[in-house]
Structure 1
Amino acid sequence: MTTPEDAFQQLASVFASRGDDILEIEIIPPSLGSPFLQDGCFIGTTKKTLVQAYTVARQLFFKKLMSMTDDELLANLLNENQSTDIVSDLVITEIMLLFDCEHLTACNWRKRRLMAALARCQGAPDRHSQLLRVLRRELTLLQSYQCSPLHRHTKSPTLWSHRLWVLKQLLKLEEQSPEALLDLERHELAVVLRAAELHPKNYYAFTYMRQLHALLAGIPVEPKDASSWAGLLAKTLVNPVLDWCLANPRDISGWAFGIYLLNHVPDQQLRADAVGRVLRFARDVGWEGESLWTFIDLTVRQFDLEEVVDEVFIHDQGRRDPASTTESQISPTK
């Protein structure tokens, strides 16, 4: 029978040895016969085992971590690879957030730890690479939560807010080229779409994506025209988002994000092509779901795309009754 200490050590060893790997964590039923399973980066644990590990982690947190000063937090971060005790300090909050993704105290401790390093080490070039590594590792931890089949983590406002904060710090530390920023945006979209698959109508994930777009659009790049840069960022995402929406046509949050992107794209032809594509899909499969048709209705009205609707319906009518269409196009002669 697994004790709380055993359960804590099992999960602690997984997080301590994670490195920069992204885990996929799932709550498994006790009927499988084992309270804990691991296959590489795939982790399965029963709810009882997770509760046991959390009780130990919470006790250690309030006993050992809550009273840490900024200097102690800084030493904790900068020496994390030199002491097994310091590593276990870090995984305490990781286990707490695995059990309760809205545990603000644990999340804020991690933020305080990073802020202490950012405040003390900005003028130390030798610490720069270490800070970048720590921030990237924080992002992979969050992705482990947000892209795992867990009940609440995929739509946790606490985790999405923390992810945006970490990205802001990363962008402040490291100057990025426009290509690197576009790659970053595409990667974050993949994270969001995976979370949205696991939890349909994921308002918090798509809100994070809107906030990220606004953040990246505010970064000065060449060309200096801010509107064209914001438009390029939005344009890059239009087709991947439409692909996802057409594969998940009932998800209103995805369609709403699609409208947001089209609103930031200055290319009217791209808007017309996007709406035409969605309309043809709806007509071909006979889709009657409200979310997709709401997207069509709003985009047609907002971007003045009535001609696109007419073209699709005329083409559809001609395909169904080509004889009548041809006859109507030929004027009678005597």
Structure 2
Amino acid sequence: MTSPVDAFEQLVDLFDHRGDQVLEIEIIPPSLGSSFLKDGCAMGISKKALIQAYMVARRVFFETCTSMSSNELVADLLREQSSSVANKEKFVTEIMLLFDCEHLTAANWRKCRILAALAQHEGPSNQTSQQTRMLKTELTLLQSYQCSPLPRHTKSPTLWSHRLWTLEHLINLVELSVDTLLDLQRHELEVVLRAAELHPRNYYAFTYARHLRSLLVRTAATITTESISCWELRLAKALLSPVLDWCLAHPRDISGWSFGLHVLGHCEDRQSHEEAVKRVLQFALDVGWEGESLWTFVDQAVRRFDLEDTVVNECLPLPRTLERPGAVAEDQTAQASWRAWLSRAQANWAACKADRS
């Protein structure tokens, strides 16, 4: 039987050897007969062992970490840099956040530790690479939480807020090019979409994506001569296709469609609006999709970007066999607008079926 100290030591050893790797962490059932399982970057831990490790980590944290001043944090960082053996205190908050992703005190202590490292050598110096590495390691730790099949971590507002804070400090620390910004946006979108896949209707993940896009737009405008509006359009267009791909693969997810509409709103040209709505409609018509989330996106996009003529004339014309189609559509729109578009699609499906028979 694993003791609390043994469970704590095993998790410390795991995080100590993680480096910058992204782990996939999962809670395993006790029926497997082991408290810990590890295969490459995949790791399993029983709920009992995690609770035991957390109790030890929490005790160590409140006995040693919470009382550390800024100078003590700096001294601890210097000892860590000069020694090949990491202090166990470094991993205490990692274990605490693995158990309780909303432990605000643990998350804030990690912020204080990062700020102490950033203040250690302000301005250009040979320490910048160490500070950059520390921030990147923090991001991969958060990705290990947010992209693992854990019950709450994928939708944790504390973790997503901490990720945005960390990324903002990383952007301020390093020199970025246009290509680097686009790569960063692409990578962060992958993290968001993976978290949204693990936890459907992940409002917090997509809220992070909104804030991140705004941060990258402001950053891009400071490193180039292009205006903010130009970067709004450029970054939104880079997001649009992968976001729509994900939404069509998860058509029930209203949070994904809401973010897709947000991105589409920053693509100011009408061609992008029309192509996106046509693509969604073509998918719905091809597979016979009747879910509310997709048709709500269609309705809101049509209203927001004034695409009714495009949708009615090209994608969803009412069959000629229906009497007074305009009156039917108006009546349905008055009741529930998204249902009006669905009714048009159903009428088309019925007409196609009648033609085939």
TM-score, normalization: structure 2? Answer: 0.87
How far did residue 82 of structure 1 move? 3.7
SS at match of 1:55: helix
Q: 2:292 aligns with which of 269, 286, 290?
A: 290
CA distance in structure 1 between the aligned counterparts of 2:58 and 2:133, rounded to whole angstroms: 27
SS at match of 1:122: coil
* Structure 2 counterparts to residues 115-264 of structure 1, below 5 A: 115-123=115-123, 125-219=125-219, 220-264=222-266
CA distance in structure 2 between the aligned counterparts of 1:3 and 1:84, rounded to whole angstroms: 27
Match of 2:74?
A: 74
CA distance in structure 2 between the aligned counterparts of 1:132 and 1:113, rounded to whole angstroms: 14
Alignment pair present for 1:13 and 2:16: no
Evaluate the alpha carbon distance shift between residue 209 and residue 23 of structure 1 in structure 2; reply closer, same or farther with a 3 A threshold. Answer: same
Give 2:255's aligned amino acid: S
How far did residue 258 of structure 1 move? 0.4
CA distance in structure 2 between the aligned counterparts of 1:53 and 1:170, rounded to whole angstroms: 31
Give 1:313's aligned amino acid: L
Match of 2:109?
A: 109
CA distance in structure 2 between the aligned counterparts of 1:124 and 1:270, rounded to whole angstroms: 42
SS at match of 2:126: helix
Instruction: State whether residues 81 and 87 of structure 1, in contact with CA within 8 Å, keep that contact through their aligned partners in structure 2.
Output: no
CA distance in structure 2 between the aligned counterparts of 1:246 and 1:78, rounded to whole angstroms: 50
Give the gaps of 5 or more residues in structure 1: 325-334
* Structure 2 counterparts to residues 39-54 of structure 1, below 5 A: 39-54=39-54
CA distance in structure 1 between the aligned counterparts of 2:113 and 2:127, rounded to whole angstroms: 15
% identical aligned pairs = 60
Q: Which moved more, 1:114-123 or 1:189-198?
A: 114-123
Instruction: State whether residues 223 and 229 of structure 1, in contact with CA within 8 Å, keep that contact through their aligned partners in structure 2.
Output: no
Give 2:301's aligned amino acid: T
Q: 2:271 aligns with which of 263, 269, 272?
A: 269
Evaluate the alpha carbon distance shift between residue 114 and residue 15 of structure 1 in structure 2; reply closer, same or farther with a 3 A threshold. Answer: same
Residues 103-147 of structure 1: per-residue CA shift (max 9 Å, x gap): 011111100011112123113501111000000000000000000
Give 2:107's aligned amino acid: C
Instruction: State whether residues 250 and 290 of structure 1, in contact with CA within 8 Å, keep that contact through their aligned partners in structure 2.
Output: yes
Instruction: State whether residues 275 and 296 of structure 1, in contact with CA within 8 Å, keep that contact through their aligned partners in structure 2.
Output: yes
Match of 1:332?
A: none
Alignment pair present for 1:28 and 2:31: no
CA distance in structure 2 between the aligned counterparts of 1:267 and 1:74, rounded to whole angstroms: 51
How far did residue 81 of structure 1 move? 4.2
Residues 141-171 of structure 1: per-residue CA shift (max 9 Å, x gap): 0000000000000000000000000011001
Residues 257-287 of structure 1: per-residue CA shift (max 9 Å, x gap): 0010011111210111000000111111111
Match of 2:316?
A: 313
Residues 19-72 of structure 1: per-residue CA shift (max 9 Å, x gap): 000000000000011111011111000000000000000011011111101011
SS at match of 1:224: coil
SS at match of 1:238: helix
How far did residue 85 of structure 1 move? 6.5
Residues 265-319 of structure 1: per-residue CA shift (max 9 Å, x gap): 112101110000001111111111111000000000000111321201249969x
Evaluate the alpha carbon distance shift between residue 124 and residue 242 of structure 1 in structure 2; reply closer, same or farther with a 3 A threshold. Answer: closer
Match of 2:325?
A: none
Instruction: State whether residues 16 and 86 of structure 2, in contact with CA within 8 Å, keep that contact through their aligned partners in structure 1.
Output: no
How far did residue 223 of structure 1 move? 4.1
SS at match of 2:204: helix
Give 1:305's aligned amino acid: L
Give 1:293's aligned amino acid: W
Q: Which moved more, 1:215-224 or 1:161-170?
A: 215-224
Give 2:316's aligned amino acid: F
Q: Which moved more, 1:282-291 or 1:75-84?
A: 75-84
Q: How many residues align?
A: 322
Give the gaps of 5 or more residues in structure 2: 319-344
CA-atom RMSD in angstroms: 1.8
CA distance in structure 1 between the aligned counterparts of 2:218 and 2:6, rounded to whole angstroms: 48
Give 1:21's aligned amino acid: Q
Instruction: State whether residues 275 and 308 of structure 1, in contact with CA within 8 Å, keep that contact through their aligned partners in structure 2.
Output: no
CA distance in structure 2 between the aligned counterparts of 1:131 and 1:35, rounded to whole angstroms: 35
SS at match of 1:183: helix
How far did residue 87 of structure 1 move? 3.1
